[in-house]
A and B are shown apart, each in its own frame.
Chain A
Amino acid sequence: MDGVAKTEIIPVPRELAVVYNRADRIFRRIVTSGALTSLILLGLIGMFLFVKSAQIFNDRGISFITGSNWTAGSGDGVIIDDFSIGPMLTGTILVAVIALIIAMPLAIGGALYLEFYAPFRIRKILNALLDLAAAIPSLIFGLWGLAVFTSFGERWSVLLNSRFGWIPFIKVQNEVFGRSPFIAGCVLASLIVPIITSVTREVFSRTPRDLIDTCYALGGSRWGAIRTVVLPFGRSGIIGGAMLGLGRALGETVAVYLLLNIVFRYNFRILESEGGNIASLIATKFGEATEYELKALVAAGFVLFILTLAVNMLAATIVQKSTVRK
Chain B
Amino acid sequence: MKTLKQGEIAMVENPQINVVTMVEAHSPQSNFRGLEAKNIHAWFGKHHVLSDVSLRFPERTVTGLIGPSGCGKSTFIRLLNRMHEFIPSAAMAGQVLKDGEDIYAPEIDAATVRLKIGMVFQKPNPFPAMNIRENVLSGIKLAHLKVADHDSIVENCLTRAGLWKEVKDRLNATGGSLSGGQQQRLCIARSLAVEPNVLLMDEPCSALDPGSTLRIEETIKELAEKIAVVIVTHNMQQAARVSDFCAFFLTDGGPGYLVEAAPTKILFTNPSDVRTADYVQGKFG
Contacts and interface: CB of A to CB of B under 8 A. Distances in A.
Physical contact A–B (CB less than 8 Å): yes
Interface stretch (A209-217, A249-257, A259-267): A209-217
Interface string A201-232: 00000001011011111111100110011001
Contacts of A326: 128, 176
Given A120-B88, A228-B127, A233-B129, A216 B114 contact: yes
Main SS class of interface, A: helix
A218 B191 contact: yes
Contacts of B187: 214
A213 B111 CA distance: 11
Contact of B138 (A208, A210, A218, A221): A218
A25 B139 CA distance: 59
A326 B177 CA distance: 11
B147 to A, nearest CB: 13
B105 interface: no
B206 to A, nearest CB: 13
A211 B142 contact: no
Contacts of A210: 121-123, 125
Interface in A80-103: none
A215 B142 contact: yes
Contacts of A228: 127, 138, 141-142
Given A120-B88, A228-B142, A216 B125 contact: no
A319 B51 CA distance: 47
A217 B127 contact: no
Interface residues of A, number: 20
Contacts of A233: 128-129
A62 B122 CA distance: 61
Interface in B191-232: 191, 194
B185 interface: no
A17 B129 CA distance: 42
Interface residues of B, number: 27
A138 B66 CA distance: 58
Contacts of B142: 215, 218-221, 224-225, 228
B83 A216 contact: yes
B112 to A, nearest CB: 7
Given A217-B119, A218-B138, A219-B115, A211 B83 contact: no
Interface string B123-159: 1010111000000001101110000000000000000
Contacts of B191: 217-218
A220 B128 contact: no
B150 to A, nearest CB: 15
Contacts of B125: 208, 210-211, 214
B284 interface: no
A116 to B, nearest CB: 11
A213 B83 contact: yes
B183 interface: no
Nearest to A217: B119
Contacts of B129: 232-233
Contact of B119 (A213, A224, A229, A232): A213
A144 B259 CA distance: 65
B196 to A, nearest CB: 9
Nearest to A326: B128
Contact of B190 (A213, A216, A218, A224): A218
B81 interface: yes
A120 B114 CA distance: 23
Interface in A131-185: none
A211 B127 contact: yes
A215 B118 CA distance: 10
A216 B121 contact: no
A41 to B, nearest CB: 41
8 contacts: A217-B83, A218-B143, A218-B191, A218-B194, A219-B142, A224-B142, A225-B142, A233-B129
Interface of A: 120, 208, 210-211, 213-221, 224-225, 228-229, 232-233, 326
Given A221-B142, A233-B129, 10 more contacts: A208-B125, A213-B121, A216-B114, A217-B81, A217-B114, A218-B143, A218-B191, A219-B142, A224-B141, A233-B128
Top 5 A-B residue pairs of the complex, sorted by shortest distance between their CB atoms: A219-B115, A220-B142, A218-B139, A232-B129, A219-B143
